[in-house]
Structure 1
């Protein structure tokens, strides 16, 4: 080693080469290790680049998700503003609606603008009677609920009532809206003013009853109408209104198939007949039950018809109108059952009316068989039809075979004729 150091200097290239050779001879795997470390370093740098790219993509997606979430929460937090703006737009459209369709006159439009002006505020006492009537009628006709309720509140607050006809229209609209409180407020105001309509409509009992019925309080509605019915029937207007409400309640009860309400309704009808000797409510219940498709309803109608003689007389007087209404409703079975009911009570005139109307219906339909059965029944029951109807049946009978013959000829000619070849 001393000789080696003497012959070569430490910094010469040959000495460095010899040193590397010795190292390679002593540790042969060292050279390969350096190459492996270099490859590992390259792989590590490649993996670092891939990780950076992946992290960048993930961060971008998370940023997009945060932006979408923020935008969604902003939209969900703004429905109140949209609703308020939508209500304001609806109010503006309700104001200009009369101008677009020419329902409101120019005077009514100016009155609406005046009533909403800040100078007037909530005081309608500066309006005349004609202006108030026009405003109320206009809001009722176009079904402008907010303005209508606003005017009603102001009428009650300032104790200013419209004319009688307008007041009745307002009460009808209030009962459609189920506004019982407003009806009671108007009733109290009319009592205070000793208004004549408060006696005609028995403290507005029909309107209250209908509002209660629409809101779902069936028993309270029937009780209210029952209490005020005796006072309502004293005048024509009150009787008409109370009977219309009763008719509506009966029709909707049978349409909804409410057995409990039907039992209560029959009890009220019987009580009214006992107290007032008024068969109208029982007749309404009988008609709807009689026209029903359910056997239980038809049985209830039969029991009422058997029990009340006045009901039998009333139905016999209105046999023509009842038959026509059943036919318009395409309920021929009800007409047949009505004829049977008249025959059981020996009400021949009413039965003849029903048969005549039924014949006209079947003749217009061109049903020869049904007309022949009616003619046969009339002859057996000794209830002859009119001469015009007999001529109609004869013309229908004579024209029917000709029509059938023409159809047979057409069908015969339309069929292809077979050709036969005979071999002789």
Structure 2
């Protein structure tokens, strides 16, 4: 279908073909979806280099294609990382690399998690780009009750001194534990924040106080309902 559109537009309107990069990025997307990723990558890179106005489109397409990258072979993953590194080095655009980092970080496989850490250590500026992915990681993980992922994320933030995100992650984790009425975990979160000089909002302390008061409330005995013999 894409090849047919290319031929049709080339015959009838060179301008439309030009502003759409001859629709080559759609060819690359189709190849990727048909399991021909190694053929798709050089096409994506060529379009990215030649057409400034299509770079945002390629970034967004890549974001949605990359979601299952950890289920691919190691060779494919290596080539995807090389493609992203080329874009980083030549255009100072590390968005696609940050997408790879997110997918690897939330993977259940240790090798993928290790790769995510290696990418941060190898590319110094990547730590700034992953900030935009942190809310997504936290929300997805807590929705799936994967508290360990959020805790691991906090460790990474500390290791690379991404202090701007400490508060957000702690608040999300606190609210999750609050919903479970887990007094001990809430207390540990607040203590950790105090020890590490992370200022949490007053509303969070108020929530903790309310939970503490409710936890200490005496249990009221439940009165049995009075039996009534109705005549109607």
TM-score normalised by L of structure 1:
0.49
How many Å apart are 1:385 and its aligned residue? 1.3
> What is the CA distance between 1:228 and its match in structure 2?
1.3
Q: How many residues align?
A: 224
Alpha-carbon offset, residue 262 of structure 1: 0.9
Tell me, yes or no, if structure 1 residue 191 matches structure 2 residue 6: no
Q: CA RMSD in A?
A: 2.3
Matches within 5 A, 1:81-92: none
In structure 1, distance between residues paired with 2:6 and 2:22: 6
- Alignment partners' CA distance in 2, 1:221 and 1:361: 41
The Cα shift of 1:195 comes to 4.7
Write the distance in 1 (CA, Å) between the matches of 2:198 and 2:219.
35
* Corresponding residue for residue 65 of structure 2: 249
Counterparts of 1:196 and 1:325, CA distance in 2? 43
The answer on whether the counterparts of 1:339 and 1:351 sit within 8 Å (CA) in structure 2 is yes
Report Cα offsets for 1:241-281 as digits up to 9, x if no partner: 31232123321222x24322111111111112122221011
Q: Distance in 1 between matches of 2:33 and 2:169?
A: 36
Q: 1:333 aligns with which of 145, 148, 159?
A: 148
Aligned to 1:274: 89
Assess if the C-alpha contact under 8 Å between 1:209 and 1:222 holds in 2.
Answer: yes
Counterparts of 2:43 and 2:160 in 1: how far apart (Å)?
36
**Residue correspondence of structure 1 range 280-359 to structure 2 within 5 A:** 280-316=95-131, 318-359=133-174
* Shift, 1:326, TM fit: 3.1
Secondary structure, counterpart of 2:22 in structure 1: coil
Asked if the contact 1:287/1:301 (under 8 Å) is kept, the reply is yes
> Is residue 20 of structure 2 the alignment partner of residue 207 of structure 1?
no
Structure 2 CA distance for partners of 1:318 and 1:210, relative to 1, 3 Å: closer
Superposition deviation, residue 365 in structure 1: 2.7
Change (3 A) 1:243 1:197: farther
What CA distance in whole angstroms lies between the structure 2 residues aligned with 1:209 and 1:299?
Answer: 29
Could you say which residue in structure 2 is the equivalent of 1:361? Answer: 176
The equivalent of 1:406 in structure 2 is: 219
**Separation in structure 2 between the aligned mates of residue 244 and residue 316 of structure 1, nearest angstrom:** 17
Larger radius of gyration: 1
User: Which has the higher relative contact order, 1 or 2, with Cα contacts under 8 A spaced 6 or more apart?
Assistant: 2
Query: Where has structure 1 moved over 4 Å in runs of 4 or more?
Result: none
Per-residue CA deviations over 1:290-332 (Å, capped at 9, x if unaligned) read 0111110001100111122221112235544442343234332
How much does 1:197 deviate? 4.1
Residue aligned with 2:154, SS = helix
In 2, the alpha carbon distance for the partners of 1:331 and 1:197 equals: 47
Q: Which residue of the other structure, out of 199, 205, 208, is the alignment partner of 1:393?
A: 208
Residue equivalent to 1:222 = 41
| Unaligned 5+ runs, structure 1 | 1-181, 414-424
Q: CA deviation at 1:216?
A: 2.4
* Residues 151-199 of structure 1, C-alpha deviations (whole Å, 9 max, x = no match): xxxxxxxxxxxxxxxxxxxxxxxxxxxxxxx212211222233354433
> How far apart are residue 335 of structure 1 and its match?
1.5
Cα gap change, 1:282/1:382 in structure 2, threshold over 3 Å: closer, same or farther? same
SS of residue matched to 1:204: helix
